[in-house]
Amino acid sequence: MKTPHLYAVDLDGTLLTDHKTYKHEQLDRVLTLLAEQGSYLAVATGNQMPKIEEYLAGHEHHKNLYYIAENGAIIHNQGIDLALWGFSPELVNQALAALENFPALGIILSSRHYSYVPTDRLATIAGRVHEQVTKVGIDLPGWDPENPITAIRPFYPNVEAIDDPTTITETIVKIALNADPDEGIYETIEKLHDALPEGIAATSSGFGAIDLILDGNHKGHGLAWLAEHLGLNAEQTTAFGDSGNDLEMFRYAGRAIAMEHSDPALAPVTDLTIGSNNDGAVLDFLEAELTA
């Protein structure tokens, strides 16, 4: 029998095509093969749990399928949150105060079950989301130009607009930002690092998005936690990704595999580059490796 292994796979730009699809029957085959070999698959993504559950609907019965959600803030399996790390209310308020100096950024605050958009940033982020998805040819189901929040709902199913985000009582696990398209992502991240309170880190998550996470609670931390939970070491892990928020996961994993269009920041820690997310390269690679 092969040595147990944990494969961590990013969603957007990696497992999913640009149209947010993948081959469901092939994923079922891969999960079955992994189970037969005592191995595991973790979806490691910046997405919220409700959206991950939507993407993976029909596969949740696989006991060896884990979710590392919100860029490492939540570890989940079989309907149970195994771990959750969130911001203190004080840290959220400090971050919001700092973000007042970045009026061009869209803001979404994520809790375990819901997400919130400050009313004064709603038009900004809705317009950018609509522009970005239109650029890659993705339809926005339910899009209503008169109701901007409908542009966000396909990606944050339980999103609500809120006048004063400091009144949110739930634990915030991530603050997602939508960057000004006229300013480079990494230039914006550098400015954010100078302005944000200690304890918060900013990371690129692709498609013009920047995620604010607890410093140290990135995908790499989530992967390391899950590997230890499963009794595995770093050499027994493989990570697939394409964006800046995969960097720490690549650094931790015994093997790091990038997509052909990946963020150049991943290059120094990449062991292998495969094809395109639009061609299903990840599932093809996994199925070939598991049947070799």
Same domain, 185 and 258: no
pLDDT, residue 129, reads 83
CA 132/CA 138 separation, integer angstroms: 9
> At which residue do the structure tokens 């969130």 appear?
86
Residues 118, 80 share a domain: no
Give pLDDT, residue 276. 98
DSSP state of 184: -
- Output the pLDDT for position 139: 73
Give yes or no: residues 257 and 210 share one domain.
no
Instruction: Answer yes or no: do 93 and 208 share one domain.
Output: yes
Q: Is residue 72 part of a domain?
A: yes
- The Cα angle at residue 289 between residues 283 and 292, in degrees rounded to 5: 135
User: Using the 8-state DSSP alphabet, how is residue 263 labeled?
Assistant: -
pLDDT at 135: 77
Tell me the pLDDT tens digit for each residue of 118-147. 999 999 888 888 887 777 777 777 778 788
CATH of residue 64's domain is 3.40.50.1000
Indicate the residue among 179, 214, 249 that finishes a domain: 214
What would the pLDDT profile of 243-292 be if each residue is shown by its tens digit? Answer: 999 999 999 999 999 999 999 999 999 999 999 999 999 999 999 999 99
What's the CATH number where 186 sits? 3.30.1240.10
Mean pLDDT of the chain: 94
- Number of domains within the chain: 2
Among 214, 246, 280, residue at a domain's last position = 214
User: Is the pLDDT assigned to residue 91 strictly greater than 70?
Assistant: yes
Tell whether the model's pLDDT for residue 148 goes beyond 70: yes
Distance (Å, rounded) from C-alpha 230 to C-alpha 255? 18
Q: Between 197 and 207, where is the model more confident? A: 197
User: Both 210 and 249 in a single domain?
Assistant: no
Q: Is the pLDDT of residue 52 over 80?
A: yes
Pair 99, 202 in one domain: yes
In percent, the amount of the chain with pLDDT more than 70 equals: 99
Residue 102: band (very low, low, confident or very high) from pLDDT cuts 50, 70, 90: very high
pLDDT at 182 over 70: no
Query: 127 and 104 in one domain?
Result: yes
Which sign, positive or negative, has the C-alpha torsion 209, 215, 219, 222? negative
What letter does residue 12 receive in the DSSP assignment? B
Same domain, 110 and 206: yes
In a domain, 258, yes or no: yes
Report yes or no on whether pTM surpasses 0.85. yes
1 found inside a domain: no
Q: Is residue 45 part of a domain?
A: yes
Same domain for 196 and 122: yes
pLDDT value for 160? 95
pLDDT of residue 23: 98
Q: Select from 166, 197, 214 the last residue of a domain.
A: 214
Shared domain for 187 and 226, answered yes or no, is: no
> Does residue 268 contact residue 14 with C-beta atoms inside 8 Å?
no
57 and 20 in one domain? yes
Q: What is the pLDDT of residue 1?
A: 56
Indicate whether 241 belongs to any domain.
yes
Domain range for 172? 89-214
Residues 50 and 192 in one domain: no
